[in-house]
Amino acid sequence: MECIVHFEVHHPHEIKELRGLIFLKEGQMPSESDFLGMFEEMGYKLRLEDRDNLVFVPVEPRADYSKIRVRRLDTGEKSYKEDTELRSLLGNFLQGDSRPI
């Protein structure tokens, strides 16, 4: 199974949004070593600083970025979240009796 990792690289004057790819067994979620391996293949030498928020920091003092933060994981599985505001708007527009003309 493929897992697309959406992450931010925090540079002094900008934040770059990038993506990486991790291959996993079906139903498995990436581990710390999976993330570190992916980042190393991309040229980032990191260590995990904040496990809860998936924040990684460089181990090299001369790195031109301060941290990398994983924002989202995409495994291709559909997830549904009801948009209550959209439902409310549609309910207001579609109110009334629907009678044939």
pLDDT greater than 90 at residue 1: no
pLDDT greater than 80 at residue 33: yes
Mean pLDDT of 14-43: 94
What is this structure's pTM? 0.72
pLDDT band at 64, cuts 50/70/90?
very high
pLDDT greater than 60 at residue 92: yes
How much is the mean pLDDT over the chain?
A: 85
Question: d(Cα 93, Cα 29) in Å, to the nearest integer?
Answer: 42
pLDDT band at 32, cuts 50/70/90?
very high
Question: Comparing 84 with 32, which gets the higher pLDDT?
Answer: 32
Q: In sequence order, what DSSP letters do the residues of the chain get, joined into one string?
A: -EEEEEEEEE-SS-EEEEEEEEE--TT----HHHHHHHHHHTT--EEEEETTTTEEEESSTT-S-SEEEEEEEE-S-------HHHHHHHHHHT-S-----
